[in-house]
Amino acid sequence: MSQKSTLQHLVQIPVIVAALGYLVDMYDLFLFSVVRVNSLKALGVSAEQLLPEGVFLLNTQLAGLLVGGVFWGILGDKKGRLSILFGSILMYSLANIANGFVQTVEQYAFLRFIAGIGLAGELGAGITLVSEVLPKEIRGYGTTVVATMGLVGAIMANFVADWFDWRVSYFVGGGMGLVLLVLRLNVFESGLFEKVKSQKVQKGNILMLFNNRRRFTKYILSILIGIPLWFVTGVLMTFSPEFGKAVGLTEPIVAGKCVMFAFSGQIVGDIVSGLVSQYLKSRKKVMGLFILLSFVFMLTYLLFPVKSVDSFYVICVLLGFCNGYWTIFITIAAELFGTNLRATVATSVPNVVRGTAIILTSAFVALKPSLGIINSAVVIGTVTVIIALASLYFLEETFTKDLNYEE
């Protein structure tokens, strides 16, 4: 490692800007969970249609993230990490401001899709850039800073939505994005990308992930280990009011509070998992532990006979803490592949995982009539955990991996 201290490395402009970018990303991504009911009611959606219309809009946003994850990742490997940082935040900001003017569910869905495409570039670009500008000994600290700031954005979404009308909340998100766009004028490109840019090697060719068995296997496994994260977020937290009723609570559960409490816990979990990973010098051991803990609290959330809303919110905090392996999950994706494919993978993997919420929520809605809301969630959650643990077992340990290589 260079003569710079760890703190000096972590306060570099690329790290700070990447962290702020993820703050904006998470603010918007979870704002919908907070304002879902109020915004749909304001658009004239009936009470019985709040759940199906909410699923439709969530899936539309996730579809945008999936499309954007592939687009921005390829662009980042072909044109540079900065192309994602500028293009994605501009698209997101304009779409989010427009979102504050919607008058119909159809307009809402279209702009959630466009905003999703824009948001898709933030995390992957940030993690890729941070991973490449920091020494390998402290990469985990850098990505922990990025993820932690992002989760602060999720908590901000709840407070802003509580203080202002839901339309104003979207304006705030778009405004933050435009401010961040100005801050990014001073960001410099990754040295590893500058090095590979002049080399005669395929860059950002997504087909390389599918025409080689070893790369394809790594790519699929790196996606599957993250699915439980979005079962918790996309199903358990987003539809927490419905789960509150199902476990017998008479006082209504507020989805915004569940999001805030869960991501308060996740901030702590991200910090703890990152620090423990640095101490143990292992990504896999910590991730395996957090997945198992997450499963324990999934079952607690769904099956524990809670007597009060306060107890329900405490379980949300604990679930959020166990979701704190998000940082390590993204870091592994960035570390698994060479410089010429790193942005493609690091940008697409988290967004494919986010996109799996489409499958998870659809399965949840499909199983609900026959199994009930609780049992359908138990079945889906159990399957996601088994898949994640099996996938983690077959992945390589990446903690000490040198990233100065190409595929």
Torsion from C-alpha of 262, 267, 269, 275, nearest 10 degrees: 180
Q: Which letter does DSSP use for residue 202 in this model?
A: -
Task: Decide: helix, strand or coil at residue 250.
Answer: coil
Residue 235 has pLDDT above 70, yes or no: yes
Average pLDDT over residues 238-263: 85
Distances (CA, A) of 382 to 55, 364, 369, 375, 379: 21, 13, 19, 11, 5
Q: Which of 73-82, 307-316, 333-342 has the highest mean pLDDT?
A: 307-316
Residue 6 has pLDDT above 80, yes or no: no
Q: What is the mean pLDDT of the chain?
A: 85
d(CA 61, CA 30): 11
For residue 189, what pLDDT band results from cuts at 50, 70 and 90?
low
d(CA 35, CA 215): 40
Q: What is the pLDDT of residues 360-405, one digit of tens each?
A: 988 998 998 899 999 999 999 999 999 999 999 999 998 888 887 7
Q: What is the pLDDT of residues 93-151, one digit of tens each?
A: 999 999 999 999 899 999 999 998 988 887 777 888 887 888 877 887 887 788 778 77
Residue 190, pLDDT score: 60
d(CA 407, CA 403): 11
Taken in order 193, 198, 200, 203, the sign of the CA dihedral is: positive
- Do the Cβ atoms of 273 and 267 come closer than 8 Å? no
Q: What percent of the chain is modeled with pLDDT above 90?
A: 32
Residue 324, pLDDT score: 87
Residue 227 has pLDDT above 90, yes or no: yes
Average pLDDT over residues 334-350: 86
State the CB neighbour count (10 A cutoff) for residue 305. 7
H-assigned helices in 134-254? 139-163, 166-183, 191-197, 213-224, 227-231, 240-246
For residue 200, what pLDDT band results from cuts at 50, 70 and 90?
low
d(CA 400, CA 332): 11
Residue 339, pLDDT score: 82
H-assigned helices in 43-165? 50-79, 81-99, 105-133, 139-163
For the chain, the farthest-separated pair of C-alpha atoms sits apart, in whole angstroms, at: 65
Q: Which residue has the tokens 């003569």?
A: 3
Residue 3 has pLDDT above 60, yes or no: no
Residue 1 has pLDDT above 60, yes or no: no
d(CA 249, CA 308): 7
Q: What residue ranges define each of the domains in the chain, with the CATH number in brackets?
A: 6-185+198-394 (1.20.1250.20)
Nearest to 332 by CA among 263, 273, 272, 267: 273
CB proximity list for 369: less than 8 A, separation 6 or greater: none
Distances (CA, A) of 342 to 72, 148, 287, 367: 12, 22, 21, 37
d(CA 253, CA 230): 20
Average pLDDT over residues 305-318: 91
Residue 101, pLDDT score: 94
State the helix-helix crossing angle for 166-183 and 139-163, rounded to 10 degrees.
150
Q: What share of the chain is helix, strand, coil (3-state, %, to 5)?
A: 80, 0, 20
Q: Is the pTM of this model over 0.85?
A: no
Please indicate whether residue 334 or residue 197 has the higher confidence score (pLDDT).
334
Residue 76, pLDDT score: 79
d(CA 260, CA 320): 9
Q: What is the pLDDT of residues 43-75, one digit of tens each?
A: 888 888 887 888 788 788 888 888 888 888 888
Residue 350 has pLDDT above 60, yes or no: yes
Q: Which letter does DSSP use for residue 248 in this model?
A: T
